[in-house]
Structure 1
């Protein structure tokens, strides 16, 4: 046994070595007695396999010789050539994901995950599981991705992998509409980072702003802004373009939702310039999409510039690890741009595509697409079909969780329903908007000023 192997033997987790020894013995078809031979007791072999003993170099070499397995393979989990093959397979799966081929990425990462788990290659298991979870997210399989990420966070011994998985988990919870879990998952990991070197890293900033976005969507705007500002200060201190871009981006979305669209556009443009320095295709495309949507909200709208950003985002999203939800949001923004510019046919094609794609994935986006379809039909003078679309939008929105996005969507839907003469449905939508925003009637006695009589509220 050379010096490198001796160091590996001193540092390896005995439980890991035991699992590999047992797997090699079973694969060879040997019993513990046969493996032990005359020089090692059966009980000692049993204790090694159970992780209760770390063998010395001589014993391990003897056991490896009987198994016909290189000592290196027991210590590392695979022969050097096999390790290179696994790393190449992981690189290929990651390249597939980043180049917009999530199906290929999911298949390949699942194959590698099974292979490295069988060999107890812990560091590669973490990478393969995180990659597989991201591929599932890109395919729109949010529940499966969440389960994979939760398992990874519970098993990994790497704090950095845990943070990266936490960012993805919080994001998946948010995209699935479970804002409370999005916040809890992120806050739990941020708490464990406090006082550690990882507290001042890009990943820590990204996790903080992901949590801030969930707070904001839930309606806790004040706390969200404070979290985001703290993250921006940390990002500036790090002098990291990735961390700064992430902080500026989330701050821009909050400013836009607060009505300060001009400030939001300025922050988004700073984030876009910083992201363009790196290689994060997915987030660069999502930011272009967000910037285009905000440009449409300016008074007057910057339609030409918005369309340029949205079209570029559509191209980049198609060749990145973007999820179907990312693509749908961008297509809806493109449809609005076409509607504003008067190209009703192009607007209808895109909004109908989103409505069909989101039928089983994102009811909020499906409702938004149906509302946009109704606006297009109203612009075409077809009020009857517009009213039908709005009724479908109401059905799609029913059961959507209560948060800021839902409140905004219900409010806009209420105005459209009123515009086609559906007064009762409009009032119901306004009530849903208030409920989603957390507004409730006070319990007690109110006075109707017209009648000067008490009115009971419940």
Structure 2
């Protein structure tokens, strides 16, 4: 039974419920004894219809079934046809989002939410708001998605819907650069999840994995790996294939950041095999991106293998709920692969596509696009143009938060600026790299060290 309907059955005005019950019984041509059956007496049903008693949800649902109506018909102040209309509109918005059409999904769900009748169907209202949050994230409006998801997760409930909203909230915090909050979402929910008895749900395991990803983005790879192992243990215990795949995937990312590329590839392939057995197309696409990037990190790199994976990935993204971030990252990987193969024109075209498809306010993607263009110019011997792009990358990256990925990009920019002779810019970029990992210079009290 829908938890929202169960709650509504406990709070609905007894007189209104009694009136609806009597109307449904008369319309069905049934006596009170026929509707009551063996559950209660006809006299007790009479008191319910008079508004003197409020039946529990299970009893009410059984009586509704006998009368040929639904529990929603008795509890909701809208007609069945209207509920079906609202549900159809929600299905369309969900399908648009699953197809990666974030703008279309947002337009459809905004029309739905504006319908006053939706307020009378709490379960559909919540689902519509969750779709809207997903559409906002898909179109790059992370702040809007976060505000909505914070409301959706404010009241814990023992169901997958609440867990999915927590996962999305943590992910949006992480993508916006707010790693402490991204971590806090998962860690603070752990006890509540155990108390609610839903720690065995796949979504609960996926939330643990999402928390590991936030630790990794913050630069705490040791804790990230420990949380991945905790998720893997839970997945094994509860026989969750998706949970196991998610844990392998994030462990792969951690190993890659430690420089253990082959171990990362092995873990990613385990995750890929498991994801291919399911229907989570969005995460399957993101995992393929991870594997494609790992081939570029091999020594020596394998750009041909990367391009082959990206071709498959692009086809999948055409009908999955790929976000602007996912699509932009695909073009970035493609550009890097083409650069390694010496196809400068294709690399530049891919860099342009990164800028065209990146989400709003994505400084690292903008910086990486400039780095790619600068590398192409440098390879051609045009050091002045390369320097301009590297400096533009520095300008874009100043808007990024402090995390491991930003530190890596700062470090790369420092090396590239040194190559084109901008030693002052290189020094500043090295300092920014240190700052992004939490390193700070001590305050200087004097100009000389104290003598003993």
TM-score by length of 1: 0.81
Is the Cα–Cα contact under 8 Å of residues 324 and 359 in structure 2 kept in the other structure?
A: no
1:276 and 1:213 map into 2 onto residues whose CA distance is 21
C-alpha distance 411-17 of structure 1, shift in aligned 2 (>3 A): farther
Deviation by residue 1:68-98 (Cα, 9 ceiling, x = unmatched): xx99746234322332333232222212211
C-alpha distance 419-356 of structure 1, shift in aligned 2 (>3 A): farther
Secondary structure of the residue aligned to 1:154 is coil
Which position in structure 1 is the counterpart of 2:191?
Answer: 191
Is the Cα–Cα contact under 8 Å of residues 140 and 360 in structure 2 kept in the other structure?
A: no
C-alpha distance 226-116 of structure 1, shift in aligned 2 (>3 A): farther
Gaps of 5+ in 1: 1-7, 25-54, 61-69, 447-452
Deviation by residue 1:271-293 (Cα, 9 ceiling, x = unmatched): 11111111111111111111101
User: Displacement, 1:440?
Assistant: 2.3
User: Displacement, 1:101?
Assistant: 1.8
1:119 and 1:439 map into 2 onto residues whose CA distance is 50
TM-score by length of 2: 0.82
1:149 and 1:352 map into 2 onto residues whose CA distance is 32
Is the Cα–Cα contact under 8 Å of residues 158 and 196 in structure 2 kept in the other structure?
A: no
Deviation by residue 1:230-255 (Cα, 9 ceiling, x = unmatched): 10111122222211111111111111
Is the Cα–Cα contact under 8 Å of residues 400 and 406 in structure 1 kept in the other structure?
A: yes
Secondary structure of the residue aligned to 2:108 is helix
Deviation by residue 1:397-444 (Cα, 9 ceiling, x = unmatched): 113211111111100000000010000100110011011111223457
Which position in structure 2 is the counterpart of 1:386?
Answer: 386
1:223 and 1:147 map into 2 onto residues whose CA distance is 28
Is the Cα–Cα contact under 8 Å of residues 101 and 319 in structure 1 kept in the other structure?
A: no
User: Displacement, 1:389?
Assistant: 0.5
C-alpha distance 350-12 of structure 1, shift in aligned 2 (>3 A): same
Which position in structure 2 is the counterpart of 1:407?
Answer: 407
Which position in structure 1 is the counterpart of 2:147?
Answer: 147
Is the Cα–Cα contact under 8 Å of residues 17 and 74 in structure 1 kept in the other structure?
A: no
1:368 aligns with 2:391: no
Is the Cα–Cα contact under 8 Å of residues 78 and 119 in structure 1 kept in the other structure?
A: no
1:215 aligns with 2:207: no
User: Displacement, 1:128?
Assistant: 1.4
User: Displacement, 1:109?
Assistant: 2.3
Which position in structure 1 is the counterpart of 2:328?
Answer: 328
Is the Cα–Cα contact under 8 Å of residues 153 and 166 in structure 2 kept in the other structure?
A: yes
1:58 aligns with 2:45: no
Deviation by residue 1:150-195 (Cα, 9 ceiling, x = unmatched): 1111257454322110000000111111111111122222231124
Secondary structure of the residue aligned to 1:342 is coil
Which position in structure 2 is the counterpart of 1:226?
Answer: 226
User: Displacement, 1:113?
Assistant: 3.2
Superposition pairs of residues 99-178 of structure 1, within 5 angstroms: 99-115=99-115, 118-155=118-155, 157=157, 159-178=159-178
Which position in structure 2 is the counterpart of 1:12?
Answer: 9
C-alpha distance 382-359 of structure 1, shift in aligned 2 (>3 A): farther
Which position in structure 1 is the counterpart of 2:44?
Answer: none
C-alpha distance 291-123 of structure 1, shift in aligned 2 (>3 A): same
Between stretches 244-253 and 189-198, larger displacement belongs to 189-198
Which position in structure 2 is the counterpart of 1:397?
Answer: 397
C-alpha distance 10-247 of structure 1, shift in aligned 2 (>3 A): closer
Gaps of 5+ in 2: 21-46, 53-69
RMSD: 2.9
1:209 and 1:328 map into 2 onto residues whose CA distance is 23
User: Displacement, 1:58?
Assistant: 2.8
Which position in structure 1 is the counterpart of 2:37?
Answer: none
Secondary structure of the residue aligned to 1:200 is coil
